[in-house]
C-alpha cells in the first residue's frame, strides 16, 4: 500500500463522518501488518464527551477483528489537523513506530511522523511493569 492510496481511503471515509456540531469531519485509514485496511470517521454526539475520533474508530475496528500490529495510519481533515491526545495515546498502545500521515481534504500530505514522534515520552504497557 502506497501512502497516497491510504490517504485517498481516508478522504473517502471522511465523507461518512457525523460532525453536526463541530462541522469538522475527519477520516482515517489504518494499515495493519497483515495488510488489511480499517477506516474510521469522527462520530459526534450531543453529549460532547462521548464523541469518538476517526483514528480511534479505525483502531478499535482493527483490534475488534484481532489486529494488534499497525504499519501506517492516514488522517484527513479540512486543514490537515493533527490527532488529539487521546488518539495519540491509543495509537501508542500498539506501537510507537506506526507511521502517521496527516493530510488535508485535497490529499496534500501536511506532515509525516511516527507515533513516537507525535507523542514523545508516551505512556506504554512497559510503564506498567
Structure confidence by residue, pLDDT tens digits, 20-63 = 999 999 999 999 999 999 999 999 999 999 999 999 999 999 99
- Identify the CA nearest to 102 among candidates 120, 88, 123: 88
Mean pLDDT of all residues in 104-126: 96
**78 a catalytic residue:** no
Mean pLDDT of all residues in 91-98: 97
CA distance linking residue 50 with residue 72, whole number of Å: 26
- Identify the CA nearest to 31 among candidates 56, 6, 68: 6
* Mean of the per-residue pLDDT values of the chain: 97
Q: How far apart are the first and last CA of the chain?
A: 35
Mean pLDDT of all residues in 92-117: 97
Domains in the chain: ranges and CATH: 3-128 (3.40.140.10)
Q: What is the pLDDT of residue 54?
A: 98
Evaluate whether 103 touches 85 at the Cβ level (below 8 Å).
Answer: no
From 15, 55, 71, 112, the catalytic residue = 55
Spatial strand order of the sheet with 99-104 comes to: 37-41, 27-32, 70-77, 99-104, 109-114
Mean pLDDT of all residues in 93-105: 97
- Confidence band of 129 (pLDDT split at 50, 70, 90): confident
Alpha helices per DSSP H over the chain: 3-14, 54-64, 85-93, 115-118
pTM for this model (two decimals): 0.95
Q: What is the pLDDT of residue 11?
A: 98
- Identify the CA nearest to 67 among candidates 26, 31, 116: 31
Evaluate whether 104 touches 76 at the Cβ level (below 8 Å).
Answer: yes
List the beta bridge partners of residue 101.
74, 112
Cell match 498502545: residue? 93
Evaluate whether 123 touches 89 at the Cβ level (below 8 Å).
Answer: yes
Amino acid at each position: 500500500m502506497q501512502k497516497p492510496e491510504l490517504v485517498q481511503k481516508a478522504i473517502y471515509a471522511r465523507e461518512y463522518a457525523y460532525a453536526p456540531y463541530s462541522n469538522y469531519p475527519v477520516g482515517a485509514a489504518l494499515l495493519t501488518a497483515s495488510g488489511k485496511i480499517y477506516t474510521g470517521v469522527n462520530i459526534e454526539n450531543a453529549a460532547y464527551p462521548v464523541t469518538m475520533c476517526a483514528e480511534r474508530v479505525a483502531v478499535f475496528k482493527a483490534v475488534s477483528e484481532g489486529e494488534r500490529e499497525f504499519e501506517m495510519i492516514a488522517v484527513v481533515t479540512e486543514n490537515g489537523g493533527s490527532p488529539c491526545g487521546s488518539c495519540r495515546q491509543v495509537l501508542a498502545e500498539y506501537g510507537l513506530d506506526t507511521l502517521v500521515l496527516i493530510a488535508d481534504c485535497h490529499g496534500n500530505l501536511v506532515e509525516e511522523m511516527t507515533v513516537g514522534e507525535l507523542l514523545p515520552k508516551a505512556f506504554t504497557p512497559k510503564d506498567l511493569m
